[in-house]
Homo-oligomer: A and B are copies of this chain.
Amino acid sequence: MPHELDARREGFERQFADFLTARREAAAQVDDRVAEILRAVEARGDGAVLEFTELLDDHRMTPAGMLVSRDEQQTALERIDPETLDALRLARDRIHAFHARQLPEDLDYTDDQGVRMGHVWRPVQGVGLYVPGGTAAYPSSVLMNAVPAKVAGVERLVMTVPAPGGYVNPLALAAAYIAGVDEVYRIGGAQAVGALAYGTETIAPVDKIVGPGNAYVASAKRQVFGRVGIDMIAGPSEVLVVADGDNDPTIVAADLLAQSEHDTAAQAILVTDDGDFAEAVKRSVDRHLQQLPRSEIAAQSWRDHGAVIRVADLADAPALVDRVAPEHLELAVADPDAMTARIRNAGAIFLGRHTPEVVGDYVGGPNHVLPTGRSARFSSGLSVLDFMKRSSILEVPPAGLQKIGPAAVTLARAEGLDAHALSVSLRLNQGER
């Protein structure tokens, strides 16, 4: 049984606060081992990468064997059934079209003091995309990371994907191929992150590393952060569905289970004002579970982390949503726009009864890499901006410096920084000559 909370009952506030804080993962004690792998890769390059790959992935290679050539990617693509390939291409095109709208504009203007300022956006030069191995080598995830990088103008996009026993999911290679990934290497784990961050004889280092991974990969990304940029460290997936009684409970139940089936730590929450509907959803969940291939995982997730929260009025939902700050938010209500206007913290919002979160996982257009674990309070989903950076520009003509320079001298002196003051005052005096 999922957690049951009722906002109309006494003690709800305490119960809800406990529910929010209960779900914290114990940090795996992998940091020391990962540090050792990273030091070895930094010191010994290819040799260390290949040793750890043989040891951990049971896969022996030469340095040249790490590269998955463009031909190999194409061969993988040709083996995929046409319907799946068409779906992948539709996904790529829709993701591309949406993310192209995120390209930022440069700013360059001169104010009334004659001071010119603004900023220029530039792509990150080299980006590494980590893709997990085995069944978790999701092609949708390759597209969601690779397409925005290419839209941003990243010149060199390098993907690593482990090949346990030599096997790489052909869907992941096909996705890399159609997304325009520049280099693919069949390595994974902390050794792949180390190779991307420090570079080896075969793999040139990148400037930023993105993509999901297990506890070893997450630890490695944290440890190389600073040397390179990283994206967020993603936690288990979450959905919160706000639904009134006018929904089909079998559909809402399927939406909840689409999160629960990801892994046993995933979380699905239903917020509703209709008690009969809540009961019907729970019954539908149980019925679906009898038929789903991943029912064991989904059932455990629903039991341990799932929740049904009853509110007196759906107008009370936004305040609860903001405290949960869910990764995915479905608003299966009559006026989803009005409710959206009242939501402050959510990674992605799915409006109305006909918009399953799942469409957003694959072919909607917006990114499916989203902030988890309440981090939507302070962060956003992956975007083109994550693959670009901004340089501010400032140009002060002599006349402008006479106007604003003296204030800079005053503040520099107030802060006790006399070389700062000198740098401006020498120019001010020069201007008077």
Contact = CB atoms under 8 A, between A and B. Distances in A.
Interface of A: 83-84, 86-88, 90-91, 94, 97-98, 101-102, 107, 109, 111, 115-117, 119-120, 122, 124-125, 135, 138-140, 171, 207-208, 226, 228-229, 233, 248, 250-251, 254-255, 257-258, 260-262, 288, 292-294, 298, 322, 329, 336, 340, 343-352, 354-367, 370-371, 373, 375-381, 383, 385, 389-398, 401, 404-408, 410-412, 414-424, 426-427, 430-431
Given A124-B377, A401-B354, A366 B117 contact: yes
B392 A362 contact: no
A111, A340, A346, A359 pick with most chain B CB within 10 angstroms: A359
Nearest to A348: B392
B293 A86 contact: no
A257 B380 contact: no
Contact of A87 (B329, B360, B407, B416): B407
A328 to B, nearest CB: 10
A117 B349 CA distance: 10
Contacts of A226: 233, 373, 375
Given A87-B406, A371-B389, 14 more contacts: A90-B404, A98-B117, A115-B364, A120-B340, A125-B322, A251-B430, A258-B422, A292-B418, A293-B416, A294-B416, A348-B391, A354-B401, A361-B420, A365-B394
Taking the full assembly, how many copies of this chain does it contain?
2
A328 B80 CA distance: 50
Given A376-B389, A378-B228, A254 B422 contact: yes
B294 A84 contact: no
A96 to B, nearest CB: 12
A424 B261 contact: no
Contacts of A420: 258, 261, 358, 361
17 contacts: A87-B414, A90-B404, A90-B407, A124-B377, A135-B416, A138-B415, A139-B415, A229-B377, A257-B423, A292-B418, A343-B391, A346-B391, A349-B392, A358-B408, A358-B412, A358-B423, A359-B408
Contact of A396 (B140, B254, B354, B408): B354
B393 A426 contact: no
A367 B118 CA distance: 11
B258 A361 contact: no
Contacts of A390: 380-381, 383
Contacts of A360: 392, 394
Residue with the greatest number of chain B CB neighbours at <10 A, chosen from A343, A366, A394, A424? A394
Contacts of A363: 404, 407-408, 411
B362 A407 contact: yes
B414 A171 contact: yes
Contacts of A407: 86-87, 90-91, 362-363
A394 B261 contact: no
A55 to B, nearest CB: 28
Contacts of A98: 117
Residue from A91, A98, A360 with most neighbouring chain B CB atoms (10 Å): A98
Nearest to A252: B423
B427 A356 contact: yes
* Central interface residue in A171, A356, A431, by most chain B CB within 10 Å: A356
A322 B376 CA distance: 33
